[in-house]
Structure 1
Amino acid sequence: MFSKDIGIDLGTANVLIYVKDNGLIINEPAVIAIDKRTDEPVAFGEEAYQMMGRAPEHIQIVHPMKSGNIAEFEMTRVLIRHFLEKALGKSLRIKPHITVCCKADTTRVEKNVIRQVLMGAGAKQVVMEEESKVAAIGAGIDISKPSGNMIVDLGAGTTDASVLSMGEIVSFKKTNIGGLHFDQCIIQHIRKKHNVYIGEKTAEQVKKGIGLVLMSGEKPNAMNVHGSDLATGIPKTIEVTAEEIHQALQLPIGKIVETTRDALEGTPPELAADIAQRGIILIGGGAWLPGIDTLLTEHLNVPVFIAENPLTCIAEGTGSLMDSIGKTWTRII
Structure 2
Amino acid sequence: MSLLGRDLAIDLGAAGTRIYAKGRGIVLDEPSAVLRDRETGKVVGYGTEAVNDVDGADGETYWPISDGLPQDGELARRMIRHFLRKVHRHPFPRPRLVMAVPDEFTPIERVALRDAGFEAEARGILLVKHAIAAALGAGLPVRDGAGHMVVDIGRDAARVAVLSCGSVVAAATVRGGGNAVTRAVARLAEDEHGLLADEREAESAKLRATREPTGNVLIRGRDAGTGEQRAVALPAARVREAAVQPVEHIVRAAEYTMERCPPELTADLGERGMVLVGGGALLPGLRRRLQEGLSMPVRRAERPSDSVALGLGRCVEDLGLIAKLRRR
Q: Which residue of structure 1 lines up, in the alignment, with residue 290 of structure 2?
A: 296
| Equivalent pair of 1:138/1:318 in contact (CA under 8 Å) | yes
Q: Which residue of structure 1 lines up, in the alignment, with residue 109 of structure 2?
A: 110
User: How far 1:223 moved relative to its partner?
Assistant: 1.7
Give the counterpart of 2:250 among 252, 256, 259.
Answer: 256
Q: Deviations over 1:230-258 (max 9, x none)?
A: 44443312111245435544652211111
User: How far 1:10 moved relative to its partner?
Assistant: 0.6
Q: Deviations over 1:185-211 (max 9, x none)?
A: 322332343222323232112212336
Q: Which residue of structure 1 lines up, in the alignment, with residue 56 of structure 2?
A: 55
Q: Which residue of structure 2 lines up, in the alignment, with residue 268 of structure 1?
A: 262
Q: Provide the rounded CA distance (Å) in 2 between the counterparts of 1:284 and 1:6.
A: 20
Q: TM-score, normalised by structure 2?
A: 0.91
| Equivalent pair of 2:38/2:59 in contact (CA under 8 Å) | yes
User: How far 1:221 moved relative to its partner?
Assistant: 4.3
Q: Which residue of structure 2 lines up, in the alignment, with residue 157 of structure 1?
A: 156
The 5-angstrom pairing of residues 64-143 of structure 1 reads: 64-92=64-92, 94-143=93-142
Q: Which residue of structure 1 lines up, in the alignment, with residue 20 of structure 2?
A: 18
The 5-angstrom pairing of residues 205-284 of structure 1 reads: 205-210=204-209, 221-242=215-236, 244-246=238-240, 248-249=242-243, 251-284=245-278
Q: Provide the rounded CA distance (Å) in 1 between the counterparts of 2:209 and 2:144.
A: 40
Q: Provide the rounded CA distance (Å) in 2 between the counterparts of 1:257 and 1:277.
A: 17
Q: Provide the rounded CA distance (Å) in 2 between the counterparts of 1:180 and 1:35.
A: 25
Secondary structure of the residue aligned to 1:117 is helix
Which shifted more, 130-139 or 38-47? 38-47
AA aligned to 2:124 is Q
RMSD: 2.3
Which shifted more, 189-198 or 68-77? 189-198
AA aligned to 2:206 is K
| Equivalent pair of 1:177/1:256 in contact (CA under 8 Å) | no
* Runs of 5+ unmatched residues, structure 1: 213-218
Q: TM-score, normalised by structure 1?
A: 0.90
Give the counterpart of 1:38 among 37, 40, 43.
Answer: 40
Q: Which residue of structure 1 lines up, in the alignment, with residue 11 of structure 2?
A: 9
Q: 1:64 to 1:314 in 2, by over 3 A?
A: same
| Equivalent pair of 1:36/1:60 in contact (CA under 8 Å) | yes
Secondary structure of the residue aligned to 1:240 is strand
Q: 1:247 to 1:318 in 2, by over 3 A?
A: closer
| Equivalent pair of 1:68/1:158 in contact (CA under 8 Å) | no
Secondary structure of the residue aligned to 1:152 is strand
User: How far 1:269 moved relative to its partner?
Assistant: 1.5
User: How far 1:152 moved relative to its partner?
Assistant: 0.6
Q: Which residue of structure 2 lines up, in the alignment, with residue 177 of structure 1?
A: 176
AA aligned to 2:266 is A
Give the counterpart of 2:300 among 289, 296, 306.
Answer: 306
| Equivalent pair of 2:68/2:100 in contact (CA under 8 Å) | no
AA aligned to 2:167 is E
